[in-house]
Structure 1
Amino acid sequence: MDIERVADQLAALYARGFGGKPSGRYRMPQKILRDMLGRRRLYEADMAALGRALFERGFVLVDMDSFIVVLSANSFVNYRRVNQESLDAHL
């Protein structure tokens, strides 16, 4: 299993056009990810290592059990920030 190689492939896939879009976030079935890693099962440690490797490349891995999602870490930059005042006012 080569986590670094698969992380490179997943990061490169983000820039490629498919599914009617020129680039961007995507989802992938766990089965394909297992095949890429040459594994019959993916364990928590495998997903954590892959998530860290992708994060180092500027991406976020979301494990949705039956599939994964890969997003650019930059997509989170403009999200609204929660502070204590917001919590106090709305919760």
Structure 2
Amino acid sequence: MLRALLLTLAVEVPLYTAALVALKLAKPAKAATLGVLVNLLTHPALWLFLSHHPDRLWPAEATATAIEAFVLIKAIKTDKLLLLLVAVGANAASLLIGLTAA
């Protein structure tokens, strides 16, 4: 699990940071902090769930993405659709890299 978490953070935190800063939705420190926070909130539960239900990858990933988007929306309080798209992009990249690294 630790390896997966570190890979997820290595992929998603820079993506969240770059996207939120480029879109002028957060300053770099806040964007990076949010990238770490959303992953620390979702990754352990996702990993635990998938260890018991490996056939439920897609619904589990969709749920984690929705939770991450929700946290971003609550923290930034603007442009819900754009924040959802940022979460989808970061999670899609992370999932793709994770699947190819497995």
TM-score w.r.t. length of structure 2: 0.35
Q: Which has the higher strand share?
A: 1
Q: Which structure would you say has the larger Rg?
A: 1
TM-score w.r.t. length of structure 1: 0.37
Q: Which has the higher helix share?
A: 2
